[in-house]
A and B are shown apart, each in its own frame.
Chain A
Amino acid sequence: MIRDITIGQYYPAKSILHRLDSRVKLTATVLYLISLFLFKNLSGYLVATVFLMVVIRLSKVPFKYIMRGMRPVIMLLMITLLFNLFLIKEGEVIFSVWIFHITEGGLRNAVLMAIRLIYLITGSSLMTFTTTPNELTDGLESLLKPLGRIHVPVHEIAMMMSIALRFIPILLEETDKIMKAQIARGADLESGNILQKAKSMIPILVPLFVSAFRRANDLAMAMEARCYRGGEGRTKMNPLRYTGRDRAAYVIMILYVVGVVAIGRYVPLHIWIF
């Protein structure tokens, strides 16, 4: 159950997306996310969908695997959907139950917002699926380097991120184990009101924190033993170097953003209420 979470995980495969420089992927992801909010027409969504589909195909990550990562955010998605559906009152009422009225505008907003959210999550998880955490943090470190000049500890932040990503699956598994052990001792994790539920989490959270601190301690020692002393004087196993492929990817990305915004804004396309 808890191990089903795939967001933020790396999916090993040999695809063109996997080989791209992580800086390209990071920049492209940010651009893609922003572009989703720069158009309103259905035609824009169509372009964004086709683009996303092509990229998924290129990534060689199975579609099913990506969808599985959607499960933990379904709740969030539903809430957004419901809020939009019932709180936005625009246009004709198409459906009424008791005091709830669903309007055209509400439905339109709800559906489009849901699509945006799904694309947002799919887009960003595609980046993590195709980029190892180390590449990701290397890329981030490199992109954020200018901030180092104003004394932001860029290397340290990147290193912390990378370690966090490595330990997420380990800690999830550990949570699972501790939960089972406490259930075996008769712990009741389900019933009761919020206060009781919060209290029943103590037997899980305390051991989890103790374990996390122990691991952090061990890891710090292991890193020191392997001569880790911060970013200074460190060489890179995978130095970031742009190749023709990466430059091409930048160009494609810029073309896409310009294209999707232009089409999504100026090429009208109407189907039913959308």
Chain B
Amino acid sequence: MSIKIEHLNYIYSQGTAYEKQALKDICLEIPHGEFVGIIGHTGSGKSTLIQHLNGLIKATDGIICYNGENIYGERYNMKELRNQVGLVFQYPEHQLFEVDVLSDVCFGPKNQGFSREECEKRAKEALKLVGLKEKYHQSSPFELSGGQKRRAAIAGVLAMRPKVLILDEPTAGLDPKGRDEILEQIAYLHKETDITVILVSHSMEDIAKYADRIIVMNQGQVMYNSTPKEVFAHYKELEEVGLAAPQVTYIMHEIAKKGLAVDTGATTVKEAADSIMEVLGK
């Protein structure tokens, strides 16, 4: 269930005064089951890129192969692709519309053509996966708290049982606890099922904590595509394009400068603490 992108280009409003190349010659491969983080400042093309992955935007040129099949092929079933590649937009709760949470989550499976019972079964399962308790199933989605709305909306995509889950800043606007809860839930999902997760985020700390691999976007191009350790080793270059490394990486570099032999590649608090204890611990 891999995704392979070859020489993808996308030009906005081609042929008008507002023409702008949003994506330039993107080549990427995302193997099945990976947890990929995408970072990049606003306008770097990351949102445009992920909308290509389920065919919402059609590339100006280039190829995207899902499972070895070109999605721009003549007889390619776009609807089936959207069933397989679930996309959770920013502030997904803004798309809730049904009278109660359960019906809203059923919307996806219903569009896939499942029976009422099957829809509800899948919806309930999805709601369980995002940790939304049964007592909320019959509530109006508009009465939930911000964090709960977000969960319900994510469940709406999960209920379609996608093989690939793409989330565009799923924690924007939530408070820190709500943010951690959502991310933990996604990490749990990734561990329990064999789903591929693509997470777009502004938080380097979050990406460092969860992603196996990081794709850095800048001005419509892939700048880095590597493990967190390797990507954040380029913290100076990241700063030049308006990004940064997690705070601990900076601390480790500062300490190393002062002559302590700590691991400057640490990207999470745990890694940093381990490394410092190794050097200083008695």
The answer to whether A and B touch directly, with their CB atoms under 8 angstroms apart, is: yes
Give bound CA distance, A80 to B56, whole Å. 35
Judge whether B35 is part of the interface by a CB distance below 8 angstroms.
no
* Residue from A177, A178, A181, A187 having most chain B Cβ neighbours under 10 A: A181
Interface size on A, residues (CB 8 A): 22
- The reply to whether the CB of B95 lies closer than 8 angstroms to some CB of chain A is yes
> Is A211 interfacial (CB 8 A cutoff)?
yes
For the complex, what is the distance from the CA of A202 to the CA of B96, rounded to whole Å?
Answer: 11
Residue A274, interface by CB 8 Å? no
Residue of A nearest to B111 (CB): A186
Give complex CA distance A41, B276 in Å. 91
A182 to B87, CA, bound (A): 10
Residue A62 contacts which of B17, B51, B79, B82 (CB distance < 8 angstroms)? B17
A177 to B94, CA, bound (A): 10
A185 to B152, CA, bound (A): 13
A68 on the B face (CB < 8 A) = yes
> Is the beta-carbon distance between A185 and B96 smaller than 8 angstroms?
no
Give the A-B pair count, Cβ closer than 8 A.
59
A203 and B97 contacting across the interface, CB-CB below 8 Å: yes
Interface hub of B95, B112, B156 (most chain A Cβ within 10 A): B95
A186 and B96 in contact (CB under 8 A), knowing A65-B17, A177-B89? Answer: no
Minimum Cβ distance to chain A for residue B133 (Å):
23
Contact A207 B17 (CB under 8 A): no
Instruction: Write out the residue numbers on chain B whose beta carbons fall within 8 Å of the beta carbon of A262.
Output: none
Residues of A within 8 A of B16 (CB): 64, 68
CA of A101 to CA of B209, assembled, Å: 74
Smallest CB-CB separation from B110: which chain A residue? A186
Q: Distance in Å from the Cβ of B143 to the closest Cβ of chain A?
A: 12
Q: Which of A75-127 contact B (CB under 8 A)?
A: none
Shortest CB-to-CB span from B20 to chain A, Å, is 13
Contacts of A186 in B (CB 8 A): 79, 82-83, 107-108, 111-112, 160
CB of A210 within 8 A of CB of B142, answer yes
Residue B199 lies at the interface, judged by CB distance under 8 Å to chain A: no
Given contacts A180-B51, A202-B97, A207-B95, contact A185 B157 (CB under 8 A): yes
- A177-B89, A180-B51 known; A185-B94 Cβ under 8 A: no
Most central of A64, A182, A184, A202 by chain B CB within 10 Å:
A184
The answer to whether B108 and A185 touch across the interface, beta carbons within 8 angstroms, is: yes
Interface residue B86 (Cβ < 8 Å from any Cβ of A): yes
Q: Which A residues are CB-close (under 8 A) to B86?
A: 184
Q: Which residues of chain A are within 8 angstroms of B56 by Cβ–Cβ distance?
A: 180, 183-184
Evaluate contact between A184 and B83: CB separation under 8 angstroms. no
Chain B's closest residue to A68 (CB) is B16
Whether the Cβ atoms of B95 and A178 lie closer than 8 Å is yes
User: For the complex, what is the distance from the CA of A203 to the CA of B108, rounded to whole Å?
Assistant: 11
Q: Can you name 11 extra interface pairs (CB under 8 A) apart from A181-B95, A210-B97?
A: A64-B16, A180-B89, A183-B56, A184-B54, A184-B86, A184-B157, A185-B108, A185-B160, A186-B107, A187-B107, A207-B97
Closest 8 CB pairs of A and B: A186-B111, A206-B97, A181-B95, A184-B87, A185-B108, A181-B89, A203-B97, A207-B97
Taking beta carbons and an 8 Å cutoff, which residues of B are in contact with A? Answer: 16-17, 51, 54, 56, 79, 82-83, 86-87, 89, 92, 94-97, 107-108, 111-112, 142, 156-157, 160
Q: List 19 A-B contacts (CB under 8 A).
A: A62-B17, A177-B89, A177-B94, A178-B94, A181-B94, A181-B95, A182-B95, A183-B82, A184-B82, A184-B157, A185-B95, A185-B111, A185-B157, A186-B82, A186-B83, A186-B108, A186-B112, A203-B97, A210-B94
